[in-house]
Structure formats: C-alpha cells, structure tokens
Chains A and B, each alone.
Chain A
C-alpha cells in the first residue's frame, strides 16, 4: 500500500505501513521540499573522481538504503551530508536549506560560513562503523554532552532523556560506565543513543554492524528497527544486512562508481533487480 503523499507533514505514515517498503522515488512536502536533496553533487579526492553530478532526493521520514560495491561512493555520500568531507561541486539541501554551499544572487556557487553550516548540521546525526564514542567520558556523559552544550538543555533534562534512550537501547544499567568496558554491540547502541539524543531529523548509518562480532549484530539491528518503527526520522543507511534493509527501508539505491544505476522498493530490488550490475552484486552478497 503506497504511503499517502498528500498529508501535510509529508512523512510516510508509518502506522499505515505493513513493515516493508512502500515508497519509491523522491517525495516532497506541501512546499515541494524534500528532506535531503543532492543537486549536481561532485566529489573528488585529488584526481580520483568519486561522485560526478549526482542528483537524488530523500523525502521526509523516508528510509533509504544505499547498496553497491566497495568504493562506489556510499560512505562519501553520507560523509558529505555530515560535512565531514568538503563538496567539490554542486549543492546539498536539507529541508530546502543549503548545507555547505549556496547560490548567491548572481547564481554563483559560494561556500557558507562555518556558523551557518552548523545551524543546518544540527539536524543531522550519524552513527559510525567504529562507534567513535569518547573513551574519556562515561556512557551517559557521551550522550548528554552535545544536548547540554549544543542544544542548551539543562543537565537534569539531558540526563533524564539520556536515561530513557539508554533504556530504549537496553543499556539502562550501564550509564555510569566507561565505554571501553562495553562490548562492541553495546558501544554501538550507546552511539545510536548519543546520535538520537540530538533529536536529529536525519540519521546517517554507515555499516554500523560491520565491525561487530556476528552474535552482537542482532541487538544493534533490533534497536534500529525499533527506532525506524517508533519515529519518523529520515534515514540514510549503508548496510550489508539485506534482510534488515528490506524490512526497514522504503527505497534502495544501487550505486556503481558514484552513480545510481538502479533504485526501487526493497522487495522489487531484491527479488527482481533489473540492472545486470545489481544482479551480480546481489548474487555475490546474498
């Protein structure tokens, strides 16, 4: 059943969905603004052109999985959105607002000031493959640091919210411990809680289970399913967990050499891939 695209908020109505995917292609709210828009984005590292005139949109509340062979540019796309890499060309818009570069009145592309960038960046959160928790802080300090010092929450408020998040990820009793004492799976769940504590509109997940022992993957994916089912956070995820991708995403984009060579609802993508490269890729990993 397709999501009702006419609803004012623009987010897919999750309650009407039966778990699996429903949505294809870009979706816009009443103002015609997607949550994320890549416009003619290019990125090169030295002479290595990784992305070249890439265009795509992600709707509010949409969950999109990026698949494709190693080196096809998936991580680069997420890192550009998180402003961890500098755009070589083009524009990225979040809710219609330029993220790092804008067109000035003369139509010329100009870089934005760090202060302007940080305003937009606050809407985006990211979970990394290597967790990247701060080892010198306790679990709860990891989670409350940014809400207190970036969002301006009071310490009590931030701690209360962090406790709820820790309960949600099944680590309510580990708040005061240092992350180094936790297993990889537990650390990753703390990292998810830390990202969610910033109440982002967009959550970027880059192979968040790839560094985990197989028996710890399930817990982390469980937490993410939970987030997907209980919020309308827009998600962009890179994963090799195809069942998970199938269950939580509305759309799958297949990348090859920085280009989207195929995109579809997950069911269609996984059971009936059209492109030869996609078929080969899926055969190799499924």
Chain B
C-alpha cells in the first residue's frame, strides 16, 4: 500500500530513457514540425482572407471557423478513420514502425491545420494593427501587392504576432497527448504504459511533467530572444 506513494528511484531510472525517447521522437518532433507548418499555413490563410475576392474569402473564413470550433481529437479521428484509412494509406504496411510513422504524419498535418486556424486569427490581428498609412505609402510608391506583403506588411505583422504564435506553439505542445486518439504513442501515453506495467504511476508522470516543463521554458526564452531580434 505505502509503496504506491513512495518514490521508487529504480523505476524512475528504468523508465526515464523510454519516456525521453518518446518525447524526442514523437512529442517534440510533432510539435516542432506542426508549429512550423501551422505558422506558415496560418500566414497563408491570413493573406488569402484579405486577397481573395469577397465570396471566396467568406467561404475560407467560414471553413477556418469550422476547423477552429471542432475538437482536435475528433479531427484526428475523422482524418485517420474517415479519410486516410478508406484510401488504404494505412494498410499493407511493413510493420508497426511504418504504421506509427504514418500515423505521426497524420498527426502533424491535423495539428498543423487545426492550429493554423488560430494562428491565422493572430496574424489577422497583427496585420490589422498596422497603420493604414503603410499600405498607402506602398501604393504611392507603386510597389506591387506581393512586394508590399513581403517587405512591408508581413515583417511588421510578424513582429506584432510573434508572442501569440509562441503561445499557440506551446498550447500545441500540451495538446500532443491527444495523439493517443489515433494510437500514436507520445510521451504521456508511453509514461502511462510503463506505469501500468509496474502498477506505479507517480515516477513516470513526474518525469513526463518535468520534461514538459524543461522543454517549455527554453522555448519561451527563445521566443523572447526572437522578439528582441525582430524589434527595431
């Protein structure tokens, strides 16, 4: 009885490498890849919302709203079992590694698309925060629209948006356990499995929690550095 509340160093030592491995190979990889992808996608949405002709822009805005308003685990399930499985992309594979690999790719894409809808909102706010005079000066100089976006609007909007992009990335990081919905073994699931094998969860979840913390902190610092670098 009392053993379940006592800290078991040998279990901690045994579990740590596996948990860390799951963190690096799944949690971190998915987070980093999906963060980059969603930051790019979000920007594409934000620009498209302004550049597309009225009705198309409305449709896009509506689609983004639908994605934003539905739960991430549900989207993982829909894409995996509703779209990808019927296409046969998950059948006849070489083994569990390949399956896991493909599920992870699905995870990255779904995370990226889901969070891109939030990031698009952040970009939109960043773009709208710029004075109208910036657009007008670009027009007065006859800069092409694409050039105006690239060298005038996006660099300035990015600077305004960066803190919130960082927050979305960290939120995404904390959402990675949802990957369990499609059977991807990320860090928390891995920890739970090890804990289950030993009927002892305190060590494994503490380790997982610490890893989250240790990884989030430098990310936050990195974001702040980047912000400073972009300042003028």
Q: Which residues on A are within 8 Å of B, measured CB to CB? A: 82-84, 118, 121-122, 124-126, 128, 130-137, 145-146, 149-150, 178, 180, 194-195, 198
Contacts and interface: CB of A to CB of B under 8 A. Distances in A.
Contacts of A130: 131, 133
A271 B152 CA distance: 46
Contact of B151 (A82, A118, A124, A145): A145
A126 B156 contact: no
Contacts of B147: 149
Main secondary structure of the interface of A (DSSP, over half): loop
Interface string B138-165: 0111111001000110011001000000
B97 interface: no
A83 B134 contact: no
Q: Most chain-B Cβ atoms within 10 A of its Cβ — which of A118, A122, A132, A150?
A: A132
B9 interface: no
B134 to A, nearest CB: 6
Nearest to B154: A136
A82 B140 contact: yes
Contacts of B152: 134, 136
B199 interface: no
B149 to A, nearest CB: 13
Given A132-B134, A135-B232, A180-B232, A126 B159 contact: no
A237 to B, nearest CB: 15
A198 B142 contact: yes
Nearest to A178: B232
Main secondary structure of the interface of B (DSSP, over half): helix
B136 interface: yes
A285 B151 CA distance: 41
B134 A134 contact: yes
Question: On chain B, which size bracket covers the interface?
Answer: 10 to 19
A137 B143 CA distance: 15
Interface of B: 131, 133-134, 136-137, 139-144, 147, 151-152, 155-156, 159, 232
A134 B139 contact: no
Given A135-B232, A136-B156, A136-B159, A146 B133 contact: no
A92 to B, nearest CB: 15
A248 to B, nearest CB: 21
Contacts of B141: 125, 145-146, 150, 194-195, 198
B232 A145 contact: no
Given A130-B133, A136-B155, A146 B142 contact: yes
A32 B131 CA distance: 41
B45 to A, nearest CB: 22
Contacts of A83: 139
Contacts of A178: 232
6 contacts: A126-B140, A128-B137, A130-B131, A131-B133, A136-B152, A136-B159
A126 B137 CA distance: 8
B123 to A, nearest CB: 16
A133 B139 CA distance: 12
Contacts of B144: 118, 149-150
B188 to A, nearest CB: 41
A77 to B, nearest CB: 15
Given A130-B131, A145-B151, A178-B232, A135 B156 contact: yes
A132 B142 contact: no
Closest 3 CB pairs of A and B: A132-B133, A132-B137, A146-B141
Given A125-B141, A150-B141, 15 more contacts: A83-B139, A121-B142, A125-B140, A128-B136, A128-B137, A128-B140, A131-B133, A132-B133, A132-B134, A132-B137, A133-B137, A149-B143, A150-B142, A195-B141, A198-B141
B47 to A, nearest CB: 17
B148 to A, nearest CB: 10
Nearest to B152: A134
A125 B137 CA distance: 9
